[in-house]
């Protein structure tokens, strides 16, 4: 059953993935129904006074999918297409992601239906503070811990942390993660998702006996995840031959100069629209490039039945959430593409968010080497557990990851029982 308010294509994809895994697991029907829908969904209308004096309304959401294993955890995205169904799907994926990595969290997600690039800094701050106040009853360091996502950043988290702290009367750094270092943020958090993508990709290459020095990499999306993935992959010795953003991308068969490209991107309005540091290509052309590793790090459902046959990579490392549809998944599996599923590939962000939360709660902070080493240990262990599960059960990596994560959550529910 899909509740009408949640019924959109992204939520249907998340539920379809869950149903496939639950069927293979012979999951208890009662648990199956319980885990298919979120525990709690909040829709808020956020009034913001714009710089011209007019008051504009924005739709905001916070969804908590599951809290059986601990506080719920998940990002806040500011995007024009944000909606309740998408946020609920992302919250579900966060539940499986946290369980797969062994983190003591459930999944949550939030969003505001807005294009943040069209707001002034003052408008963005007023929107953030009003949204944080609206979801205040749901969040807290022991209840639900937001983090940055698409369209948000450490500054947005700082405003959220301050708004929450002003409500309770004292500083609460642990209410959000992904904050600036000056108010309890963690070293290594900004690059964490991209570094995690690289860590599991290198493990996959070792498993497939592929040489990093001759590997070519294409990255779709040049936000936090895509940019850091491209940078770190280049640092390992791979040739990053293509990158893109919403305006299109750049290609150079000999490899792009990623450090120079990053500097140019940041200095020119974060768009490749006028960049001449490579040959211009479209996002569709980037996805179809012949390469060793393809990293979709943009938005959901970029690889579909319509373009999956054109995918020519050896490894697909999903930096974004839900970038591949079920139909595309089957096509890629038949083609022999090694897929590192999103709930494994991009879990570095929530792993280091967990480190930040732990540091905030203990008031004891780690150095960057500690964080990098602990991230590597946790995410590569999760990769090898998933790979072993996949080979033992004869299922895909995606199905292995989903089944492993769902089983941990199911066991928590069975242990706790049903109240009352």
**Where does CATH 3.40.50.10860 sit in the chain?**
4-179
- Give the C-alpha distances (Å, rounded to integers) separating 220 from 83, 86, 255, 309: 23, 20, 15, 17
Mind listing the pLDDT tens digit for each residue in 109-147? 999 999 999 999 999 999 999 999 999 999 999 999 999
Architecture in CATH of 4-179: 3-Layer(aba) Sandwich (3.40)
pTM: 0.95
Which residues of the chain fall below pLDDT 50? Answer: none
Tell me the Cα Rg of the chain: 20
Strands, E assignment, 84-207 = 106-113, 144-148
pLDDT at 5: 73
Q: Is 192-345 CATH 3.40.50.720?
A: yes
Cα–Cα distance measured from residue 238 to residue 316, given in angstroms and rounded to the nearest whole number: 15
pLDDT at 273: 86
- Give the C-alpha distances (Å, rounded to integers) separating 304 from 248, 284, 297, 307, 356: 18, 11, 15, 6, 36
Active site residue 109: yes
Catalytic residue among 36, 73, 97, 109: 109
Contact, 100 vs 382, CB < 8 A?
Answer: yes
Mind listing the pLDDT tens digit for each residue in 70-118? 999 999 999 999 999 999 999 999 999 999 999 999 999 999 999 999 9
DSSP code of 73? Answer: E
| Signed CA dihedral, 244, 341, 78, 84: sign only | positive
Contact, 270 vs 290, CB < 8 A?
Answer: no
**Where does CATH 3.40.50.720 sit in the chain?**
192-345
């Amino acid at each position: 059953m899909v509740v009408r308010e949640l019924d959109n294509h992204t939520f249907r994809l998340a539920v379809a993935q869950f149903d496939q895994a639950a069927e293979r697991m012979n999951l208890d029907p009662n648990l199956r129904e319980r885990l298919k829908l979120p525990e709690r969904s909040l829709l808020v209308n956020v009034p913001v006074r714009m710089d011209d004096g007019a008051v504009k309304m924005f739709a905001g959401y916070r969804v908590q999918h599951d809290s059986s294993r601990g506080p719920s955890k998940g990002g806040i995205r500011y995007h024009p297409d944000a909606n309740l169904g998408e946020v609920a799907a992302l919250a579900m994926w966060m539940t499986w992601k946290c369980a797969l990595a062994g983190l003591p969290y459930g999944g949550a997600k939030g969003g505001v239906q807005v294009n943040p690039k069209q707001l002034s800094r003052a408008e963005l701050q007023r929107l953030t503070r009003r949204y944080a106040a609206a979801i205040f009853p749901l969040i807290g360091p022991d209840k639900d811990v937001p983090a940055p996502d698409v369209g948000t950043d450490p500054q947005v988290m700082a405003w959220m942390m301050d708004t929450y702290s002003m409500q309770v009367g004292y500083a609460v750094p642990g209410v959000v993660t992904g904050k600036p270092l000056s108010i309890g943020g963690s070293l290594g958090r900004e690059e964490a998702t991209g570094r995690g993508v690289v860590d599991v990709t290198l493990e996959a290459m070792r498993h497939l006996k592929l040489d990093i020095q001759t590997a070519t990499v294409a990255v779709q999306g040049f936000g936090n995840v895509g940019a850091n993935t491209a940078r770190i992959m280049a640092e390992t010795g791979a040739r990053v031959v293509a990158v893109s953003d919403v305006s299109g991308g750049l290609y150079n068969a000999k490899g792009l100069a990623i450090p120079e490209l990053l500097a140019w991107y940041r200095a020119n309005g974060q768009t490749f629209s006028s960049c001449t540091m490579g040959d211009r290509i479209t996002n569709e052309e980037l996805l179809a490039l012949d390469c060793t590793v393809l990293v979709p790090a943009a938005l959901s459902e970029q690889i579909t039945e319509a373009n999956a046959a054109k995918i020519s990579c050896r490894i697909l490392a999903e930096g974004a959430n839900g970038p591949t549809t079920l139909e595309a998944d089957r096509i890629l599996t038949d083609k022999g593409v090694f897929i590192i599923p999103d709930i494994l590939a991009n879990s570095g962000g929530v792993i280091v968010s967990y480190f930040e939360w732990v540091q905030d709660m203990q008031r004891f902070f780690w150095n960057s080497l500690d964080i990098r080493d602990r991230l590597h240990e946790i995410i590569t262990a999760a990769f090898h557990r998933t790979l072993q599960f996949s080979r033992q059960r004869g299922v895909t990596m995606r199905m292995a990851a989903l089944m492993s994560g769902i089983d941990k959550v199911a066991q928590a529910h069975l242990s706790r029982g049903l109240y009352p």
